[in-house]
Structure 1
Amino acid sequence: MTRLPLTLIPAPPGAGSLCVRKTVNKNPCQACVEVCPLRAITLVSGRVVIDDDLCNRCGQCLYACPTDALENIQPVPRRWKADRLVAPLSAQAACVEELLLWHFEKGIRAIELEPDHDGWLRAVAELNLTLKALNQPTWRLAEPANDAVDRTRRQWLRMGTDAASGTVSVGRRALRDAVTEYQLYRLTLATQRCYLCGACARICPEQAIRLHADRIMLDAARCTGCGQCAAVCFPQAIKSEKQQNQDPVMRLPLVASICTHCGQAFNAWHEHQHTCPFCERHTHGMR
């Protein structure tokens, strides 16, 4: 009888079925590729591949993914006490998106830093620029408690304090829900090219685009920049841009019309439009 091993080999990290590249082949999203500090994430035949040997589990890709598609990677646990992150910190600095979630979810307002943590200093400086733009209090820098002779002993002693350990939520969706005044993406629609076919509204996983009988709504407050709308738009009329948006909801009115060529009902941008987008672009006279 064959005995199964008592220890299970953990599944390797990768992109699951929620990855937008698995839903629409044309989607150009490579958010996880761009943020990986070790270049452990690459695209192979249009699919996300993570090199398990190179990956150090820093978790930065988790905070960049617009659809929470990454699997078998956990965020790095951090230690905090009251309103500050406390030492020891990880060698790899956290990304600004993670620090924003610590700010809004846990109420963190300070961080213990040692002089040689240049990566963390840059991360906190970038975070404070973002917080100023949001009219939020910036983070203070504090020195770690000097209660031991060397760093190693200090780290062990700190394990016995009343500091808590844990993580925050991950992903652009979590950042969108936690920071309601932080609209990072802007939806634009070129009405002169749009067919009003509704493909963008049907494919959007966040319902940031909603097509109604009398209007189309572009809700940038819900957009996570996944790019699905632009990937399925044949006339390239819609796009999502990374730009802080002050007017998150745009309502574009529509009118009901009947095509004088094919006789079909269609949505139009104005009351004087009596030819549907398909007949307008038909070049073979087969109406």
Structure 2
Amino acid sequence: MAIFTFEPAMAIAQHCVRRRFRYATCKTCAGECPAQVFSPVEGGMNVDASMCIQCGNCLFVCPAEAISGPSPATRYYSGDTLVGPFSHQAPTVNELLLWHREYGIRFVALTLEQNEPWLLAIARLNLVLKEYGEPVWGIKPPAVVAVNLARRSLFHVPREHVNSAAVRPGIRRVRQLFQEQSEIALSIDPSRCVMCSACWRACPEKCLRFDAGEVILDAAACTGCGGCAAVCLHQAVKIEKRRGLSAIKRLSASERTCRSCHRVFWALAPDALHCSLCKHHLHGMRA
């Protein structure tokens, strides 16, 4: 007899950075998944949905938000405290950051002996919160609930003032809620950049853009997908995972006339004499 399941099929959309760009190196989902569902391949990511344990952690780390199928875990909270029952698989730091900012959670009520994965997750979260200048989370002992031993009451043990919810996953949401902080350091090497526009055309978050004679680098919105570096043929773009206060960098570009072909071009290097095409040929070849 066939067994039917109503679990949605796991899939990775075409806007996955590995599918969009041949030289993309992102493998965040594979590094986070405890069940080894994801395996990087050239031009994409293989998915073995049969291995999925539906923890939903991949949803909170994918920089392109390209994963569908799993649902974020339902958590229980009372006031400013997360309470049990807790999932066996601990949440990601990004999920806990959303609970921190959206629900004002500051404590977790759990036993130290039975929830080691959660303790590690809270420790990682508190390291990030300290760097952000936010209040850290504490641990509370679970509340003792009196149980009515009447026969009919044993079928349902109510928990007053306990609510359930699931936060909407996504790195973009984390970046919106913590705009004063950045997780990524963006930089462009002016001596390598030829102003081809590939990087800012590839960036879905508009972290890199060209406006009014300036190349603008806004790391606060960067999800760290690496698409900008993957499309840069001259290896001028560099992204590093580094937390810090968000700041917008502005690189001045100048409009110049190529000495070889006499066409106008933009350059970040103040001493650029030839356009990106002519400087790779013998002087005067394209004149």
Query: 1:66-118 CA deviation, whole Å, 9 max, x = no partner?
Result: 11100111100101111111111111111111111100111101111112111
Once residues 136 and 244 of structure 1 are traced to their aligned partners in structure 2, the CA distance between those partners, rounded to angstroms, is: 14
126, 139, 142: which is aligned to 2:140?
142
Aligned 8 A contact 1:29 1:227 in 2? yes
Residue 10 of structure 1, CA deviation: 4.3
Counterpart in 2 of 1:114? 111
Aligned 8 A contact 1:257 1:271 in 2? no
Amino acid at match of 1:244: R
31, 38, 41: which is aligned to 1:41?
38
Once residues 19 and 232 of structure 1 are traced to their aligned partners in structure 2, the CA distance between those partners, rounded to angstroms, is: 14
Counterparts in 2 of 1:51 and 1:269: CA distance versus 1, 3 Å: closer
Secondary structure of the 1:277 match is coil
* Paired residues for 1:4-153 under 5 Å: 9-115=6-112, 116-147=114-145
Structure 1 position 256 matched with structure 2 position 255: yes
Secondary structure of the 1:184 match is strand
Gaps of at least 5 residues in structure 2 are 148-154
Once residues 159 and 240 of structure 1 are traced to their aligned partners in structure 2, the CA distance between those partners, rounded to angstroms, is: 50
Amino acid at match of 1:167: A
Q: Which moved more, 1:173-182 or 1:274-283?
A: 274-283
Counterpart in 2 of 1:237? 236
Amino acid at match of 1:84: T
Once residues 255 and 39 of structure 2 are traced to their aligned partners in structure 1, the CA distance between those partners, rounded to angstroms, is: 47
TM-score normalised to the size of structure 1? 0.90
Counterparts in 2 of 1:279 and 1:141: CA distance versus 1, 3 Å: same
Once residues 16 and 277 of structure 1 are traced to their aligned partners in structure 2, the CA distance between those partners, rounded to angstroms, is: 35
CA RMSD of aligned residues (A): 2.2
Aligned 8 A contact 2:260 2:283 in 1? no
Q: Which moved more, 1:244-253 or 1:258-267?
A: 244-253
Amino acid at match of 1:73: P
User: What percentage of residue pairs aligned between the two structures are identical?
Assistant: 38
* Paired residues for 1:111-260 under 5 Å: 111-115=108-112, 116-147=114-145, 160-260=159-259
Q: Which moved more, 1:91-100 or 1:243-252?
A: 243-252
Counterparts in 2 of 1:113 and 1:157: CA distance versus 1, 3 Å: farther
Once residues 271 and 92 of structure 2 are traced to their aligned partners in structure 1, the CA distance between those partners, rounded to angstroms, is: 51
Amino acid at match of 1:71: S
Secondary structure of the 1:85 match is strand
TM-score normalised to the size of structure 2? 0.90
Residue 8 of structure 1, CA deviation: 7.4
Amino acid at match of 1:238: V
Query: 1:120-162 CA deviation, whole Å, 9 max, x = no partner?
Result: 111111111211111111111111112258xxxxxx8665433
Once residues 22 and 158 of structure 2 are traced to their aligned partners in structure 1, the CA distance between those partners, rounded to angstroms, is: 48
Counterparts in 2 of 1:168 and 1:158: CA distance versus 1, 3 Å: farther
Amino acid at match of 1:52: A
Once residues 158 and 269 of structure 1 are traced to their aligned partners in structure 2, the CA distance between those partners, rounded to angstroms, is: 68
Secondary structure of the 1:53 match is helix
Aligned 8 A contact 1:213 1:267 in 2? no
Once residues 282 and 159 of structure 1 are traced to their aligned partners in structure 2, the CA distance between those partners, rounded to angstroms, is: 78
Secondary structure of the 2:51 match is coil
Once residues 158 and 232 of structure 2 are traced to their aligned partners in structure 1, the CA distance between those partners, rounded to angstroms, is: 54
Aligned 8 A contact 1:214 1:255 in 2? yes
Residue 247 of structure 1, CA deviation: 5.0
Q: How many residues of Structure 1 are paired with residues of Structure 2 in the alignment?
A: 277
Counterpart in 1 of 2:150? none
Residue 267 of structure 1, CA deviation: 0.7
Once residues 133 and 84 of structure 2 are traced to their aligned partners in structure 1, the CA distance between those partners, rounded to angstroms, is: 27
Aligned 8 A contact 1:213 1:254 in 2? no
Amino acid at match of 1:212: D
Aligned 8 A contact 2:193 2:268 in 1? no
Counterparts in 2 of 1:270 and 1:13: CA distance versus 1, 3 Å: closer
Secondary structure of the 1:243 match is strand
Amino acid at match of 1:142: K
Query: 1:178-222 CA deviation, whole Å, 9 max, x = no partner?
Result: 112230001011111111111101111100000124110011111
Secondary structure of the 2:53 match is coil
